[in-house]
Amino acid sequence: MLLARVGCALIATCVGTHAMAQNVISQAFGGYPVGLRVIQQYDRSREYKRVIDPITGTPVTGERSRPVQTLIWYPAAKGGTPLRYRDYMATRLKETNFDASPAELQQGMAAQAAALTLKLGLRAETVMNAPVLASRDAPIAAGRYPVVIYAAGGFGFADENADLAEYLASHGYVVIASTSLGAHGKPIGYDMSDAEPQIGDIEFLLGYAQSLPDADMSHVAVLGWSWGGMNNLFAAARDSRIGALISLDGTREPTFNKLIDVRRLTAPWLYISRAPETIPQINRSEVDTSFSLLNAAKYADVYQLTLYPFHHPDMASQRQHEADPSAYGEYSKEEVRQTYNVGATYIRNFLDAYLKGSKVGFAFLGRQPVENGAAPHTIFAETHLSNLTPATRERFAADLAHQGFGHAVEAYNAAHEKDLSFSLTAQDLKGWGYALMQRQRPGDASAIFTLWTVLYPRDWDAFDSLGEAYEAAGNRSASVASYRQSLVLNPNNANATTHLSGSK
* All domains of the chain in start order, with CATH: 3-17+26-384 (3.40.50.1820), 393-501 (1.25.40.10)
Q: According to the model, what pLDDT value does residue 284 have?
A: 59
Instruction: Please state, in angstroms and rounded to a whole number, the distance separating the CA atoms of residues 426 and 410.
Output: 18
Confidence at residue 324, expressed as pLDDT on a 0 to 100 scale: 86
Identify whether the C-beta of residue 75 lies closer than 8 Å to the C-beta of residue 133. no
Q: Cα Rg for the chain, rounded, in angstroms?
A: 27
Report the length, in residues, of the chain.
504
How far apart are alpha carbons 154 and 315 in whole angstroms? Answer: 13
433 closest CA partner among 416, 454, 450: 450
Nearest one of 44, 37, 91 to 67, comparing CA atoms: 44
Span 331-358, average pLDDT: 95
For 208, the enclosing helix (H) or strand (E) is: helix 192-209
User: DSSP letter string over 8-56?
Assistant: --------S-GGG---S--SPP-SS-EEEEEEEEEEEEEE-S-SB-TTT
- Cα 114 to chain centroid distance, Å, stands at 35
Average model confidence (pLDDT) for the chain? 91
Most confident range (mean pLDDT) of 8-12, 82-86, 275-279 is 82-86
Q: In sequence order, what are the beta bridge partners of 3?
A: 42
Pair 249, 272: CB distance under 8 Å? yes
Q: In which region does residue 62 sit, left (phi positive, over 0), alpha (psi from -120 to 50) or beta (all else)? A: left
- Compute the half-sphere exposure of residue 418: CA atoms within 13 Å on the CB side of its CA: 15
Nearest to 50 by CA among 38, 36, 34, 66: 66
- Give the per-residue pLDDT at 277: 65
Residues contacting 21, CB < 8 A, separation 6+? 130, 131, 132, 133
Indicate whether 359 pLDDT > 90: yes
Q: Is the pLDDT of residue 190 over 90?
A: no
Judged by average pLDDT, the poorest of 96-110, 221-235, 270-284 is: 270-284
Phi, psi torsion values for 330, nearest 5 degrees? -75, -15
208-263 residue pLDDT tens: 999 999 999 999 999 999 999 999 999 999 999 999 999 999 876 678 888 998 99
Cβ atoms of 91 and 152 closer than 8 Å: no
State the burial class of residue 327 (Cβ atoms within 10 Å of its Cβ: 0-12, 13-18, 19+). Answer: middle
Residue 371: is it exposed, middle or buried by C-beta count within 10 angstroms (0-12/13-18/19+)?
exposed
By the 10 Å C-beta count (0-12 exposed, 13-18 middle, 19+ buried), 162 is classed as buried
Q: At what angle do helices 333-356 and 162-170 cross, to 10 degrees?
A: 40
Q: What is the pLDDT of residue 278?
A: 59
If DSSP codes are grouped into helix, strand and coil, which group holds residue 372?
helix
Q: Please state the separation of Cα 252 from the chain's center in Å.
A: 16
- Contact predicate 162/135, CB 8 Å: no
Q: What is the pLDDT of residues 431-476, one digit of tens each?
A: 999 999 999 999 999 999 999 999 999 999 999 999 999 999 999 9
pLDDT in tens, 134-153: 999 999 999 999 999 999 99
CA 493, CA 459: separation in Å to the nearest integer? 12
Cα separation of 273 and 217, whole Å? 28
Confidence band of 17 (pLDDT split at 50, 70, 90)? very low
Q: How far is residue 87's CA from residue 83's CA, in Å, rounded to a whole number?
A: 6
Cβ atoms 166, 111 nearer than 8 A = no
User: Which residues, in sequence order, are bridge partners of residue 383?
Assistant: 303
Residue 187 is predicted with a pLDDT of: 86
Is residue 473 packed enough to be buried (19+ CB in 10 Å), middle (13-18) or exposed (0-12)?
Answer: middle
What SS3 class is residue 215?
A: strand
Which residues, in sequence order, are CB contacts of 209 under 8 Å at separation 6+? 147, 149, 174, 176, 215, 217, 220
Given a contact cutoff of 8 angstroms between Cβ atoms, the answer to whether 90 and 105 are in contact is: yes
Quick one: pLDDT at residue 317?
96
